[in-house]
Amino acid sequence: MLGGAIFGRLWVRLLAVTVTPVLITVVSVALLANYVTVGQFETFIMEDTQQRDDRLERVMERYYQDQGSWAGVGSTVQRMSALTGERLVLTDQGGKVVADSVGQLVDQQQGRNWRRPISLEDANDLRVGTLFVNPLLPGRASSLRVQAFLAEVNRSILIGCGLAVLASVLLTIVFSYRLRGQLAVLMRVTRQIGRGELGLRVPTPEKGDLTELGTAVNRMADDLERQQRARRQMVADVAHELRNPLQNINGYIEALRDGVLPADGHTLGVLASETAVLRRLVDELQDLSLADSGRLTVEAMPVRAQEQVAAVVDSMRPRAQELGLELTSDVPAELPALKADQRRLRQVLANLVQNAFAYTAAGGRVWITSRALPDQIEITISDTGTGIAPEDQPRVFERFYRVDPARARSTGGAGLGLTIARAFVRAMGGEIGVNSRLGDGSHFWIRLPRAEQARPDRKPRPGVPARRPRVGLARP
Ligand code: ADP
Structure confidence by residue, pLDDT tens digits, 322-339: 999 999 999 999 999 999
CA of 227 to the centre of ligand 1 (A): 25
Q: How much is the average pLDDT of 309-334?
A: 95
Q: What is the pLDDT of residue 410?
A: 58
Any residues with CB less than 8 A from the CB of 65 and at least 6 apart, and which? 122, 123
CB-facing half-sphere around the CA of 403: CA atoms within 13 A: 18
**For position 460, what pLDDT does the model report?**
42
Q: Is 156 left (phi over 0), alpha (psi -120 to 50) or beta?
A: alpha
Residue 385, judged by CB atoms within 10 A of its CB (0-12, 13-18, 19+), counts as buried
- For the CA of 416, the nearest atom of ligand 1: 6
Average pLDDT over residues 166-189: 85
> Per-residue pLDDT for 454 more than 50?
no
Average pLDDT over residues 84-112: 88
Looking only at the bridges linking them, the beta strands covering 365-372 and 326-330 are: parallel
* Residue 2 binned pLDDT confidence (cut-offs 50, 70, 90): low
pTM (predicted TM-score): 0.57
Q: What is the reported pLDDT for 414?
A: 79
Q: In 258-373, which residue ranges form alpha helices assigned H by DSSP?
A: 265-292, 305-323, 342-358
Long-range contacts for 126-131 (Cβ within 8 Å, ≥24 apart)? Answer: 127/93, 128/61, 128/64, 128/70, 128/92, 128/93, 129/60, 129/64, 129/70, 129/90, 129/91, 129/92, 129/93, 129/98, 130/90, 130/91, 130/95, 131/56, 131/57, 131/60, 131/88, 131/89, 131/90
Asked if residue 302 has pLDDT above 50, the reply is yes
Average pLDDT for 438-459: 79
Contact 193, 217 (CB under 8 A): yes
Band of the pLDDT at 458, cuts 50, 70, 90? very low
Query: What pLDDT, in 10s, does the model give residues 392-402?
Result: 998 999 988 88
Backbone angles phi, psi at 87, to 5 degrees: -80, 130
Percent of the chain at pLDDT exceeding 90: 38
DSSP state of 137: S
Residue ranges lining ligand 1, Cβ < 6 Å = 355-356, 359, 383, 385-386, 388, 396, 401-404, 408, 413-419, 442
Whose Cα sits closest to atom 13 in ligand 1?
402
Residue 111 pLDDT grade (very low, low, confident, very high; cuts 50, 70, 90): confident
Q: Residue 118: beta bridge partners?
A: 131
What local confidence, expressed as pLDDT, does residue 402 receive? 83
The answer to whether residue 350 scores a pLDDT higher than 90 is yes
Residue 106 to residue 87: CA distance in whole angstroms: 13
In this prediction, residue 320 carries a pLDDT of 96
Confidence band (pLDDT; 50, 70, 90) for 426?
A: very high
Burial 112-141 (b: 16+ CB within 10 A, else e): eebebbbebeeeeeeebbbbbbbbeeeebe
Bridge-based pairing of strands 338-340 and 301-303 is antiparallel
CB of 470 closer than 8 Å to CB of 422: no
Contact partners, residue 249, CB within 8 Å, separation at least 6: 271, 274, 275, 278
pLDDT greater than 90 at residue 133: no
- Indicate the range of 34-38, 144-148, 448-452 predicted with least confidence: 144-148
Predicted pLDDT at 338: 95
At 142 the pLDDT is 57
Burial of 316 (C-beta count, 10 Å sphere; 0-12/13-18/19+): buried
pLDDT for 421 equals: 93
Ligand 1 atom with minimal separation from the 403 CA: 16
Atom of ligand 1 nearest to the CA of 401: 10
Q: What is the pLDDT of residue 383?
A: 97
Task: Tell me which of 316 and 156 has the higher pLDDT.
Answer: 316
Task: Answer yes or no: is pLDDT of 172 > 90.
Answer: no
Instruction: Give yes or no for residue 69 having a pLDDT over 70.
Output: yes
Q: Determine the average pLDDT of the residues in 288-293.
A: 84
CA 385–ligand 1 middle distance (angstroms):
11
Give the N- to C-terminal CA distance of the chain in Å, as an integer: 50
Question: Which atom of ligand 1 is nearest to 420's Cα?
Answer: 6
Please give the distance, rounded to the nearest whole angstrom, from the Cα atom of residue 402 to the centre of ligand 1. Answer: 6
Pocket test for ligand 1, best of 418, 436, 444, 445 (most atoms within 8 A of CB): 418
State mean pLDDT over 147-166.
Answer: 82
For residues 426 and 139, what is the distance between their CA atoms, to the nearest angstrom? 92
Give the range among 68-82, 284-298, 302-316 with minimum mean pLDDT: 284-298
Q: Would you say how long the chain is, in residues?
A: 476
Average pLDDT over residues 36-58: 83
Tell me the mean pLDDT in the region 119-136: 87
Higher pLDDT, 150 or 256: 256
273 pLDDT above the threshold of 60: yes
Centroid of ligand 1 to alpha carbon of 290 (angstroms): 21
Res. 459 pLDDT band, cuts 50 70 90: very low
Identify which of 396, 411, 434 to mutate to test ligand 1's pocket (most ligand atoms within 8 A of the CB). 396
**pLDDT above 70: percentage of residues in the chain:** 89
